[in-house]
């Protein structure tokens, strides 16, 4: 058995904090909850939790500042809670480096699912440092050609346009509207579904060359990121 993962929650709404702690404990995690952000960075660096759940609006120091200060020193996974959907778009634009975002009100089960997904991903990353094969996707922006593990892939022009926005900034989460603006600026009629269907096709073509490798991470309710 792997050792119990520790989660640190920063949430100043007492009832919500209690519910989140209860659900995450039941899911097998060791959970601590703090309501004040003043010493959050020091506490996180000092206690080295496996994952941090961070509310955006906190007394003492807000989640945005905490996230930024923390990212200069730590790669600990962060799930950011916000009160409004528009805040997520703003935070994405600021590139604060959170791993996932949840908009209140969210179900505690949803949080547990996100926590599991993120911890699974970081466990896979640790393993890949060892003996797994690293896949490579290369894009030649001038010739509009791409290769996966050295094999040419027949992406459409649209797919390349989308892929290069994601590929230039590995790890950064883009919302669908940001992707539409950045990748398809010349087009007028596009919907969120357009982005989703291009992503689906890109994934299929990558998989045809690289087995189960998926270089694009879906960020539920938000958008996509390229995982180097």
Judge contact between 207 and 214, C-beta under 8 A.
Answer: yes
Rounded least distance, CB 116 to Ca ion, Å: 24
Q: Scanning the structure block, which residue is given the tokens 């892929």?
A: 163
Rounded least distance, CB 161 to Ca ion, Å: 39
Looking at beta carbons only, is 44 or 199 nearer to Ca ion?
44
- Count CB atoms within 10 A of the CB of residue 43: 18
Looking at beta carbons only, is 85 or 133 nearer to Ca ion?
85
CA distance 181 to 170: 18
Helices (H), the chain: 14-26, 40-47, 63-71, 85-94, 108-128, 157-168, 176-183, 192-210
Q: Could you write out the DSSP letters of every residue in 151-186?
A: EEE---HHHHHHHHHHHHSTT-EEEHHHHHHHH-TT
- Count CB atoms within 10 A of the CB of residue 111: 22
Rounded least distance, CB 94 to Ca ion, Å: 18
**Closest residue to Ca ion, based on beta-carbon distance:** 57
Strand partners of residue 209 = none
When binding is defined by CB under 5 A, the residue of 21, 50, 55, 99 that contacts Ca ion is 55
* Window 82-101: contact mask with Ca ion (x via CB under 5 A): --------------------
Residues in the interface with Ca ion (CB under 5 A) total 3
| Residue 35 binds to Ca ion (criterion: CB under 5 A) | no
Rounded least distance, CB 198 to Ca ion, Å: 36
Stretch that binds Ca ion, among 11-19, 124-132, 157-165, 212-220 (CB under 5 A): 11-19
| Residue 103 binds to Ca ion (criterion: CB under 5 A) | no
Looking at beta carbons only, is 57 or 209 nearer to Ca ion?
57
Looking at beta carbons only, is 104 or 158 nearer to Ca ion?
104
Rounded least distance, CB 13 to Ca ion, Å: 6
The DSSP secondary-structure symbol of 57 reads S
Rounded least distance, CB 222 to Ca ion, Å: 20
When binding is defined by CB under 5 A, the residue of 30, 57, 112, 117 that contacts Ca ion is 57
Q: Helix, strand or coil for residue 132?
A: coil
Rounded least distance, CB 67 to Ca ion, Å: 14
| Residue 12 binds to Ca ion (criterion: CB under 5 A) | yes
CA distance 223 to 101: 10
CA distance 76 to 113: 18
Binding site for Ca ion (CB under 5 A): 12, 55, 57
């Amino acid at each position: 058995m792997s050792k119990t993962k520790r989660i640190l929650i920063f949430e100043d709404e007492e009832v919500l904090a209690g519910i989140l702690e209860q659900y995450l404990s039941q899911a097998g995690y060791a959970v601590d909850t703090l309501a004040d952000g003043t010493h959050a960075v020091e506490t996180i660096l000092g206690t080295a939790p496996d994952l941090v759940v961070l509310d955006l609006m906190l007394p003492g120091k807000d989640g945005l500042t905490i996230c930024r200060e923390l990212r200069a020193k730590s790669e600990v996974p962060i799930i950011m809670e916000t009160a409004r959907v528009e805040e997520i778009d703003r935070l994405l634009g600021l590139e604060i480096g959170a791993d996932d975002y949840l908009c209140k009100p969210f179900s505690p089960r949803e949080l547990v699912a996100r926590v599991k997904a993120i911890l699974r991903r970081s466990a896979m990353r640790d393993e890949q440092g060892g003996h797994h094969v690293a896949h490579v996707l290369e894009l030649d922006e001038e010739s509009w050609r791409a290769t996966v593990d050295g094999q040419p892939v027949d992406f459409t022009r649209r797919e390349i346009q989308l892929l290069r926005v994601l590929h230039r900034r590995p790890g950064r989460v883009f919302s669908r509207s940001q992707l539409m603006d950045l990748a398809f600026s010349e087009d007028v009629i596009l919907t969120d579904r357009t982005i989703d269907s291009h992503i689906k096709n890109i994934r299929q073509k990558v998989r045809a060359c690289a087995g189960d490798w998926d270089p694009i991470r879906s960020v539920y309710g938000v958008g996509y990121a390229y995982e180097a």
